[in-house]
């Protein structure tokens, strides 16, 4: 396998919330550059930057008005080049977020498209005439609530927006759109970017006949998620989309040692199909099983075993505990279970993606309604969570604004920042940060954790998940207790010793033929 990427741990940075260097309460590129030593010391091998392109910020960067420049909120192209150069000097790769499904409605392309029905860029976006009664062309829904169609009074047609009304969908059936977006990729790759995370990768193509989508019989109205009321068979994961992702990857392959990861939320077989269609080690779709499956040993083992077997040794699995759209893992599972989840994520075969602050055990923060910024939360009646709670500023120290800024940040600082911050956790030998550093150090010193095969272990205890990472000349055994009670488990034959516990109070403990795991404890053993 390609050890260049297989040995790397990717760290997602939401730039608005990482470090403010300019004193405006919003994180920026120079702030990230300031913290590269912290990331290197942590054990990070690559950065994924959420969008930093020019944007009116209706959806905080996922509504792009210029793909070829940096938004002044974050800095300049010179600042970006400086960040890229210094990251590379520290042997850290840089992935950019890539948003091909839609642009901002303030993008010059859309302004031209919107100017008249006869404009040469009209077909760059998806426009349809109203029904005879003046209503939307079909029943398609927006992820942000309501119809996916917005009527334009000037040209008397509807445009499609799968997400916010400020984010019109590009028409991927137009070859000029395809050529332009592929050139955007080449522009950044030539600048030195090491690859892309492709946003909402499964939405590119829509049904050319614009048929109504059927009702979802499993829909739960009480959840107030209108989008889920339909089965999205005409707007999601069309065959053309899968093959376009392969074309994206062909651009990646025009350059040396680059990587592409795709955001898709789908079932296992579809993930495996995408691996096979693209068919290259420098590509992987995200795997969100830790977020979507019940948190018990049997469910997780069943998925991991099947996933690893289906994709084989030629491709990299990915494992994710959180991102800018999903609840933080400590809030979801509790602190002890989240520590064990981190151990699994960082020792399973594949490429782990850490969301900023996970290494501190950061939690969701309750955001008062008057301070909410997320357009999804503001648009969807009854949608109380939104995404703001997982996007609060990184907590660096115990000062008033957590070391993130010297002025009030764009979102509030988590209330527990006085204890849960980098400065405090660096001196606490049993902190989340100490745990992450310990595991990531093991990845450096034990090649079986980055190059070894995944060997399932059939534990007789249903509450314990176990596996071996088998390298050329070493084996590493990982055991995880998913229950809130002590669980015993038989060890494979061998003179095993425990070299790490998620409690961080065990080191080089010789074991007999059986070991007892404390509630929600995970351990690493070697011979």
What class has domain 453-526?
A: mainly beta
Given 20, 79, 164, 199, the catalytic residue:
199
Q: Which of 375, 399, 397 is nearest to 386 (CA)?
A: 375
Instruction: Quick: pLDDT tens for 335-348.
Output: 999 999 999 999 99
pLDDT at 1 over 50: no
* Residue 373 pLDDT level (bands cut at 50, 70, 90): confident
Which regions of the chain carry the CATH code 3.90.400.10? 108-160
Mean predicted lDDT score pLDDT of the chain: 95
Q: Which of 20, 194, 213, 263 is catalytic?
A: 263
Average pLDDT over residues 205-221: 97
* CA angle (24, 28, 31) in 5-degree steps: 100
Pairing of strands 351-355, 10-13: parallel
CB atoms within 10 A of CB 485: 10
* 149-152: strand order across its sheet: 127-128, 157-160, 149-152
Model's pTM, two decimal places?
Answer: 0.95
Q: Which of 359-373, 414-428, 457-471 has the highest mean pLDDT?
A: 457-471
Pairing of strands 66-70, 318-320: unpaired
- Distance of alpha carbon 508 from the chain centroid: 35
Q: What is the pLDDT of residues 392-406, one digit of tens each?
A: 999 999 999 999 999
- Annotation marks residue 199 as catalytic: yes
**Residue 263 annotated among the catalytic residues of the structure:** yes
**SS3 state at 493:** coil
Q: The tokens 């150090």 sit on which residue?
A: 441
Range(s) within the chain of domains with CATH label 2.60.40.1180: 453-526
pLDDT tens digits for 254-302? Answer: 999 999 999 988 888 989 999 998 989 899 999 988 888 999 999 999 9
Opening angle at CA 488, ends 487 and 490, nearest 5: 145
Class of domain 108-160: alpha beta
Least confident of 123-127, 138-142, 143-147: 143-147
Give the C-alpha separation, 330 to 227, whole Å: 27
pLDDT of residue 380: 63
Burial class (CB in 10 A: 0-12, 13-18, 19+), 87: buried
Output the pLDDT for position 2: 47
Q: How far is CA 364 from CA 41, 259, 293, 325, in A?
A: 25, 30, 20, 11
Q: How many CA atoms lie within 13 A of 292 on its CB side?
A: 13
Tell me which of 370 and 30 has the higher pLDDT.
Answer: 30
**Given pLDDT bands bounded at 50, 70 and 90, which one contains residue 386?**
confident
In the DSSP assignment, the letter for residue 4 is H
Q: What is the full DSSP assignment across 36-102?
A: HHHHHHHT--EEEEPP-EE---TTTTSS-SEEEEE-TTT--HHHHHHHHHHHHHTT-EEEEEE--SB
Contact 83, 32 (CB under 8 A): yes
């Amino acid at each position: 396998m390609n050890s260049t990427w297989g040995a790397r741990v990717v760290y997602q940075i939401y730039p608005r919330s990482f470090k403010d260097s300019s004193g405006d309460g919003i994180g920026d590129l120079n702030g990230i550059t300031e913290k590269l030593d912290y990331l290197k010391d942590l054990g990070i091998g690559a950065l994924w930057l959420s969008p930093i392109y020019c944007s009116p910020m209706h959806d905080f960067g996922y509504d792009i008005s210029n793909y070829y420049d940096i938004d002044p909120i974050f800095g300049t192209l010179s600042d970006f080049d400086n960040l890229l150069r210094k990251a590379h000097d520290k042997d850290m790769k840089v992935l950019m977020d890539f948003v091909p499904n839609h642009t901002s409605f303030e993008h010059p392309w859309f302004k031209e498209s919107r100017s008249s029905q006869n404009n040469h860029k009209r077909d760059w976006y998806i426009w349809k005439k109203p029904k005879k009664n003046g209503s939307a062309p079909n029943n398609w829904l927006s992820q942000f609530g309501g119809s996916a169609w917005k009527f334009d009074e000037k040209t008397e047609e509807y445009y499609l927006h799968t997400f916010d009304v400020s984010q019109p969908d590009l028409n991927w059936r137009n070859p000029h759109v395809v050529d332009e977006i592929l050139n955007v990729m080449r522009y950044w790759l030539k600048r030195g970017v090491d690859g892309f995370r492709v946003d909402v990768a499964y939405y590119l193509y829509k049904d050319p006949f614009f048929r109504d989508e059927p009702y979802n019989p499993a829909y739960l109205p009480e959840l107030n998620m209108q989008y889920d009321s339909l089965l999205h068979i005409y707007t999601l994961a069309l065959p053309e989309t899968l093959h376009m992702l392969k074309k994206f990857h062909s651009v990646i392959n025009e350059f040396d040692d680059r990587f592409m990861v795709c955001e898709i939320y789908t079932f296992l077989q579809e993930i495996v199909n995408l691996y096979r269609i693209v068919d290259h080690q420098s590509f992987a779709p995200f795997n969100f099983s830790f977020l979507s499956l019940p948190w018990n040993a049997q469910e997780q083992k069943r998925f991991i075993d099947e996933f690893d077997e289906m994709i084989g040794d030629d491709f990299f699995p990915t494992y994710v505990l959180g991102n800018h759209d999903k609840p933080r893992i400590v809030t979801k599972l509790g602190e002890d279970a989240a520590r064990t989840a981190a151990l699994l994520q960082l020792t399973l075969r594949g490429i782990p993606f850490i969301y900023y602050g996970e290494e501190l055990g950061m939690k969701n923060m309750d955001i008062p309604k008057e301070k909410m910024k997320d357009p999804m939360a503001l648009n969807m009646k009854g949608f109380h969570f939104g995404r703001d709670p997982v996007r609060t500023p990184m907590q660096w120290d115990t000062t008033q604004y957590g070391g993130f800024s010297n002025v009030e940040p764009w979102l509030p600082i988590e209330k527990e920042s006085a204890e849960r911050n980098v400065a405090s956790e660096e001196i606490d030998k049993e902190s989340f940060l100490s745990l992450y550093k310990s595991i990531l150090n093991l990845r450096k010193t034990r090649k079986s954790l980055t190059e070894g095969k995944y060997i399932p272990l059939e534990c007789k205890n249903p509450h314990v998940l176990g596996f071996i990472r088998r390298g050329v000349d070493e084996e590493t055994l990982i055991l995880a207790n998913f229950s809130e009670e002590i669980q015993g488990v038989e060890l494979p034959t061998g003179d095993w010793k425990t070299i790490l516990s998620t409690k961080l109070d065990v080191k080089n403990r010789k074991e007999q033929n059986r070991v007892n795991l404390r509630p929600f404890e995970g351990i690493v053993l070697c011979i």
